[in-house]
Amino acid sequence: MTTTITLTGAGGQIGYALLFRIAAGDLLGPDEKVRLRLLEIPQGLGAAEGAALELQDGAFGLLEHVEVTDDPAVGFDGADLALLVGARPRGPGMERGDLLAANAGIFGPQGAAIAAHAAEGVRVTVVGNPANTNALIAAASADGVPAERFSALTRLDENRARAQLAQTLAVPVDTIRRLPIWGNHSATQFPDVSYATVGGQPVDAALEAIVGDVPTWLAETFIPRVAKRGAEIIQVRGSSSVASAANATIEHVRDWVRGTEDWTSAGVVSHGEYGVPEGLISSFPVRSVDGGWQIVEGLEVSDWARARIDASVAELVEEREAVRSLGLL
């Protein structure tokens, strides 16, 4: 079989980190051929064309075809998977929400082009920031495509949270499970250790033995470290995360296509679950079943967690209002 994958921003940093992993089979496995459509704006075409030449030189057996274009109708033609990465990254001192004015205008036309040209079962992953609200705009502009086919990347936040917890507990990162991100891919996000397990056991006792007062450690150390990790990366390396973002994108899409054994996190459309207003694209604990994200329901949410979820969701509501006032929704 062959899957058609559209990557926007293919001439940018994350695009460059993604393309070669996709061509090598990291996304869909060693048996699935891929057809790549690289969508850029005119200024980015040279970089995308260069990447296409290098893809050819990689002699990847799974890569059937590469097309580079600045025309969304061509870029999204027949797309089974669309990775919407193309957007401006933030710089030092900015919050991701500050990018709304610069980037939100990209996602309406792309949503419309997806509706008009993509394959019937297209699944869209938004990486460009602010990812949740950009996904909301794209979904709202894609007439006839169910909002459930749009998701925003919060897997990078989950990976950061699992890595920080693993480091604190001095355990291998892959022994940490069930550490979902709630809300917005922003500084208000809530990485929630309430359900987390290490080696299949609840983390509470092990964590308390190491950090002492767990609520204080969560509020003062863990949550801010995870939520502000993007800003830390920008400060240290001078530009925003690239390889870790590409890695999380690969994991997110792979899980969406192939299914999950356990929970993960993704920004998906709310139908009112956990009191999140209907229609918002919020991060939840999710499973991937039969090619679709399912929100993990019935979890007990403490008052402390509730307040954090509410704060992040309030920011999503504000972003939706801001986009409405820009006339983009």
Catalytic residues: 185
Give the separation between CA 151 and CA 142, rounded to whole angstroms.
13
Binding to ligand NAD (CB under 6 A) within 107-136 occurs at 127-129, 131
Q: How far is the CB of 131 from ligand LMR (least distance, A)?
A: 7
The contact set with ligand LMR (CB under 6 A) reads 89-90, 96, 129, 156, 230, 233, 240-241, 245
- Single out the residue of 3, 4, 9, 100 in contact with ligand NAD (rule: CB under 6 A): 9
Nearest-angstrom CA–CA distance, 190 and 180 = 8
Min CB(62)–ligand LMR separation in Å: 28
What is the distance between the alpha carbons of residues 16 and 283, in angstroms, rounded to a whole number?
26
Report what 68 binds from ligand NAD, ligand LMR, none; CB cut-off 5-8 Å by kind. Answer: none
Exposed, middle or buried by CB within 10 Å (0-12, 13-18, 19+), for 217? middle
Question: Is 289 one of the binding residues for ligand NAD (CB under 6 A)?
Answer: no
List of E strands, 231-280: 264-269
Chain centroid to Cα 61, Å, comes to 28
- CA atoms of 208 and 197, how far apart (whole Å): 14
CA distance 297 to 315: 22
Judged by CB under 6 A, the stretch of 42-50, 138-146, 273-281, 288-296 that binds ligand NAD is: 42-50
> Is residue 55 a contact point for ligand NAD (CB under 6 A)?
no
**Is 282 an interacting residue with respect to ligand NAD (CB under 6 A)?**
no
Are the beta carbons of 8 and 109 closer than 8 angstroms?
no
Residue appearing with tokens 């694209």: 281
Cβ nearer to ligand LMR, comparing 7 with 99: 99
For 21-30, the CB contacts below 8 A with 24+ separation are: 21/246, 21/247, 21/250, 22/250, 23/55, 23/58, 23/60, 23/62, 23/63, 24/58, 24/60, 24/62, 25/62, 26/250, 26/254, 27/250, 27/253, 27/254, 27/257, 28/3, 28/254, 28/257, 29/258, 30/62
By C-beta, is 79 or 124 nearer to ligand LMR? 124
CB atoms within 10 A of CB 307: 10
CA distance 91 to 62: 36
Is 237 or 324 the residue whose CB approaches ligand LMR more closely? 237
Contact partner, 127, from ligand LMR, ligand NAD, none, Cβ < 5-8 Å per class: ligand NAD
Nearer to ligand NAD, 89 or 285 (CB): 89
- Helix (H) / strand (E) containing 247: helix 243-258
x/- track of binding to ligand NAD for residues 219-258 (CB under 6 A): ---------------------xxx--x-------------
Q: Is 156 in the site for ligand NAD (CB under 6 A)?
A: yes
Three-state DSSP class for residue 321: helix
35 marked among binding-site residues = no
d(CA 160, CA 193): 13
Q: How many residues bind ligand NAD (CB under 6 A)?
A: 31
Tell whether 90 is in a known binding site. Answer: yes
- The response to whether 110 counts as a known ligand-binding position is yes
The item of ligand LMR, ligand NAD, none sharing an interface with residue 97, based on CB under 5 to 8 Å by kind, is: none
Determine contact, residues 134/101, Cβ cutoff 8 Å.
no
Does residue 97 touch ligand NAD according to CB under 6 A? no
Establish whether 149 is an annotated binding residue: no
Considering CB distances under 5 to 8 angstroms, the limit depending on partner class, which of ligand LMR, ligand NAD, none binds residue 233? ligand LMR
Summarize the annotated binding site for NAD(+) as residue ranges.
9-15, 103, 110, 127-129
State the residues that interact with ligand NAD by CB under 6 A: 8-9, 11-15, 39-41, 43-44, 47, 85-90, 106, 127-129, 131, 153, 156, 185, 240-242, 245
